[in-house]
């Protein structure tokens, strides 16, 4: 299993790009993969090939309306581990002895 954290920013689209971000997030939501949206990007969990295909699809979706995009992505691949979206946070909370926001 793997985690993919990414953000896609349309270039030359003005200050507010939420309409493009919403289209990319819709692709993620419809993928059926587990994900978490945060203020600066999205984290998705799944098979590496599925994650790479999803990243390509989100890029293509935004590029349908924009001539240029900037993509930032990080991938964490770990054999034999699933549920990392929640497990990583839970591990930190356990070490601190409290729930985090």
How far are the Cα atoms of 5, 52, 56, 60 from residue 66, in angstroms, in the given order? 22, 21, 15, 10
Domain ranges across the chain: 2-96
User: Are the CB atoms for 6 and 73 separated by under 8 Å?
Assistant: yes
Q: 19 vs 29, 39, 62, CA distance in Å?
A: 15, 14, 10
pLDDT digits (tens, 9 = 90+) for 35-51: 999 999 999 999 999 99
In CATH, the number for domain 2-96 is 3.30.70.930
Tell me the pLDDT of the chain averaged across its residues: 93
Residue 3: both structure tokens together = 């985690």
Max CA pair span of the chain: 48
Distance from first CA to last CA of the chain, Å, rounded? 25
Cβ atoms of residues 84 and 1 within 8 Å = yes
Residue 64: per-residue pLDDT: 95
Res 51: pLDDT: 98
Region 46-60 average pLDDT = 97
């Amino acid at each position: 299993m793997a985690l993919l954290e990414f953000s896609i920013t349309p270039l030359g689209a003005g200050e507010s790009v939420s309409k493009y971000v919403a289209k990319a997030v819709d692709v993620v939501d419809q993928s059926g993969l587990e994900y978490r949206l945060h203020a600066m990007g999205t984290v998705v969990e799944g098979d590496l090939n599925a994650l790479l295909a999803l990243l390509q699809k989100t890029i293509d979706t935004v590029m349908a309306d924009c001539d240029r995009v900037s993509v930032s992505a990080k991938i964490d691949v770990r054999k034999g581990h699933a549920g990392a979206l929640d497990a990583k946070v839970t591990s930190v909370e356990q070490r601190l002895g409290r729930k985090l926001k």
